């Protein structure tokens, strides 16, 4: 067994795990590790200018590759800076190995500058959190971290690495990587029961969650929907592409609003919930998300999600892809005679309803005059300008409803969203996605307010020459909050006074911000300027930003 420092052991374990990039923002406690990047060429360090951006870039890379990404942060304040996107990673199930340098164990009793209990800090947002106290522990801790992060239900893990542990030498046992075969097959009796329920359904609906995408089961869900003639929705705030958005049975995403979801699912008598982790409203109105009369069949790889908020008549713990494939195979023999005719009739009804709804959406995607543009129009022009296999990273907030429904996507691994709702993921996530998929166009739709949470990620895009197109949906305000106040019908609504929600006087100069970080940028104020600007941005060899003026009308939302 070799003798090496803790830092050398960490580096070697990352190489053995197939890591290509380490994402971070370094400090004094990370210097033993940082020195190795100068000595070895096995790994590339990707520098971000803020810890939350570093974690967001790592999220994009991990989601696009499907493998754990490594983040290296700086002590307790650095970890604190990254907690917003660590929260997003936990809610989305993003596999990450998050590490942070800790102060010297020999002086922790003195509570030195930058010291804090990082394990306690990270525990609630991770699957596992640990502080390494001996250099010989580093290989085992790294191996365990990768295994836990990548085993369904996937998610982030955290390791605290004291600087003296990283500097000291020890005889190391470098374990081989453990790959967990996690494709758990479903219980056959539960599948048969679910198939009988679906065969007798008059108006079934499917809610496809991120578990569908993570298991590689999007195609299986498409086949199930076509087999039973079901309308399909993606879960509220889905982080991934869980169903092709241009499929004729796709009715769009569910909203994080109980009243709206009740309306969307009002006729469903059976609902199949597949790999879904969010079925709760953003704002509590005292109403449940799902109609009480509907029979529920739920499939998930995470036992904690089964029946968590809505009791399921049939709850199946299994890999979503395998379970859906077996459910489809079990239901096909039951669809005979009158049942088969009913499926055909139902399929035609859903196809007609979806086509009609899309026609109404298309009617919204028009712009007239020289003023700010409707977000639906911006989304339509983005779709028209981009390649068919383009990737969309979305954090457009109040414009999301239009972006998600108009920017059609059909290929898996082509949509990414900040599922946790903590702002500041969009721009860095797009950088990480482009790093993982350099051959594909990557567009980032981001609200002007959310862009400012992590604007420094533009520098990383420019520094590494990553040709991402950032489209800022600029309404000069925190529009979602204005809409919430309008729905409350209080003083703000009556007086049209929205305290602390306008980004004006002065207006933010996104062109100057982008230019200062090496990103080419243009401002788009009229509809006729948008398509030429998009064509220009998509043909740039490096990153480009478009500051697009959208309408500032306040709409009632949230309640």
Q: Give the DSSP letter string of 420-480.
A: T--SS-HHHHHHHHHHH-TTS-EEEEEEHHHHTTSTTHHHHHHHTT--EEEEEEE-SB-HH
Residue 517 lies in a domain: yes
What are the tens digits of pLDDT across the range 83-98? 999 999 999 999 999 9
Same domain, 7 and 148: yes
Backbone angles phi, psi at 473, to 5 degrees: -85, 100
Residue 159 lies in a domain: yes
Residue 176 lies in a domain: no
Residue 557 lies in a domain: no
More confident residue, 487 or 533: 533
Mean residue pLDDT across the chain: 94
What are the tens digits of pLDDT across the range 448-492? 999 999 999 999 999 999 999 999 999 998 888 878 888 888 888
Residue 558 lies in a domain: no
Same domain, 330 and 429: no
Q: How many domains does the chain have?
A: 3
Same domain, 166 and 217: no
Res 76 pLDDT > 90: yes
Which CATH number characterizes residue 512's domain? 3.40.50.970
What are the tens digits of pLDDT across the range 408-432? 999 889 999 999 999 999 999 999 9
How many whole angstroms separate alpha carbon 186 and alpha carbon 313? 15
Residue 465 lies in a domain: yes
**Torsion angle defined by CA atoms of residues 83, 127, 219 and 406, in that order, rounded to the nearest 10 degrees:** -10
Same domain, 381 and 345: no
Q: Which residues contact 169 (CB under 8 A, 6 or more apart)?
A: 3, 4, 5, 135
Please, what is the end-to-end C-alpha distance for the chain in angstroms?
A: 62
Same domain, 41 and 164: yes
Residue 64 lies in a domain: yes
What are the tens digits of pLDDT across the range 118-141? 999 999 999 999 999 999 999 999
Task: Determine contact, residues 139/175, Cβ cutoff 8 Å.
Answer: yes
Q: Which domain holds residue 446?
A: 365-549
Residue 377 three-state SS: helix
User: Is residue 354 very low, low, confident or very high in pLDDT (cuts 50, 70, 90)?
Assistant: confident
How many whole angstroms separate alpha carbon 403 and alpha carbon 69? 28
Same domain, 108 and 194: no
CB atoms within 10 A of CB 388: 11
Same domain, 195 and 115: no
How many whole angstroms separate alpha carbon 399 and alpha carbon 446? 9
Residue 555 lies in a domain: no
Same domain, 207 and 256: yes
Which CATH number characterizes residue 320's domain? 3.40.50.1220
Tokens 């859903």, residue located: 350
What are the tens digits of pLDDT across the range 30-54? 999 999 999 988 999 999 999 999 9
Res 29 pLDDT > 70: yes
Q: What is the structure's pLDDT at 416?
A: 97
Q: What is the structure's pLDDT at 367?
A: 78
Q: Give the DSSP letter string of 479-520.
A: HHHHHHHHHHTSHHHHHT--TT-B-TTTTP-HHHHHHHTT-E
For residue 194, CA distances in Å to 123, 230, 310, 353 come to 37, 14, 16, 26
* Domain edge (last residue) among 139, 171, 203: 171
Same domain, 230 and 327: yes
Same domain, 271 and 202: yes
Same domain, 35 and 155: yes
Q: Which residues contact 386 (CB under 8 A, 6 or more apart)?
A: 407, 441, 443, 534, 538
Tell me: cis bond preceding 506? Omega within 30 of 0 counts: yes
């Amino acid at each position: 067994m070799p003798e090496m420092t803790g830092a050398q052991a960490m580096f070697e374990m990352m190489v053995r795990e197939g890591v290509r990039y380490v994402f971070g923002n370094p400090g004094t406690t990370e210097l033993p590790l940082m020195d190795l990047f100068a000595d070895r060429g096995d790994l590339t360090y990707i520098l971000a200018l803020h810890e939350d951006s570093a974690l967001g870039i790592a999220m994009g890379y991990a989601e696009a590759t499907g493998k754990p990404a490594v983040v290296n942060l700086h002590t307790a304040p650095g970890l604190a800076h990254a907690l917003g996107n660590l929260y997003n990673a936990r809610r989305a199930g993003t596999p990450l190995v998050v590490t942070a340098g800790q102060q010297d164990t020999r002086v922790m009793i003195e509570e030195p500058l930058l010291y804090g209990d990082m394990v306690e800090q990270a525990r609630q947002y991770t699957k596992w959190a640990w502080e390494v106290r001996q250099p010989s522990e580093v290989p085992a801790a790294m191996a365990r971290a990768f295994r836990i992060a990548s085993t369904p239900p996937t998610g982030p893990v955290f390791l605290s690495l004291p600087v003296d542990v990283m500097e000291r030498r020890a005889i190391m046992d470098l374990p081989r990587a453990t790959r967990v075969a996690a494709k758990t097959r479903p219980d056959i009796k539960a599948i048969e029961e679910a198939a009988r329920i679906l065969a007798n359904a008059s108006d079934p609906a499917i809610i496809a969650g991120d578990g569908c995408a993570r298991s590689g089961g999007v195609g299986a869900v498409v086949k199930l929907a076509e087999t039973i003639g079901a309308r399909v929705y993606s879960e509220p705030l889905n982080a991934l592409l869980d169903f092709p958005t241009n499929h004729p049975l796709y009715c769009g995403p569910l909203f994080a609003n109980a009243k709206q979801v009740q309306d969307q699912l009002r006729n469903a008598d059976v609902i199949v919930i597949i790999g879904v982790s969010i079925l709760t409203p953003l704002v509590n109105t005292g109403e449940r998300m799902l109609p009480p009369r509907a029979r529920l069949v739920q499939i998930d790889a995470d036992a904690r999600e089964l029946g968590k908020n809505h009791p399921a008549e049939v709850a199946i713990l299994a890999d979503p892809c395998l379970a859906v494939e077996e459910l489809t195979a079990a239901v096909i023999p039951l669809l005979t005679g009158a049942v088969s005719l009913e499926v055909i009739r139902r399929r035609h009804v859903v196809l007609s309803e979806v086509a009609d709804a899309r026609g109404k959406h298309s009617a919204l995607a028009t712009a007239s005059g020289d003023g700010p543009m409707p977000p639906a129009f911006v989304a339509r022009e983005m779709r028209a300008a981009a390649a068919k296999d383009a990737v969309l990273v979305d954090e457009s907030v109040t414009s999301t409803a239009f972006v998600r429904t108009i920017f059609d996507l059909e290929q898996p691994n082509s949509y990414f969203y900040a599922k946790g709702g903590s702002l500041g993921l969009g721009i860095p996530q797009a950088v990480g996605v482009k790093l993982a998929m350099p051959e594909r166009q990557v567009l980032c739709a981001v609200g002007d307010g959310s862009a400012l949470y992590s604007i420094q990620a533009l520098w990383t895009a420019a520094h590494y020459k990553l040709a991402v197109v950032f489209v800022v949906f600029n309404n000069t305000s925190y529009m979602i909050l204005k809409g919430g106040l309008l729905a409350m019908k209080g003083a703000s609504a009556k007086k049209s006074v929205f305290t602390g929600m306008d980004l004006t006087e002065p207006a933010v100069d996104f062109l100057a911000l982008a230019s200062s970080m090496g990103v080419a940028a243009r401002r788009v104020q009229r509809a006729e300027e948008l398509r030429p600007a998009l064509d220009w941005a998509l043909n740039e060899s490096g990153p480009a930003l478009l500051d697009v003026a959208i309408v500032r009308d306040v709409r009632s939302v949230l309640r």
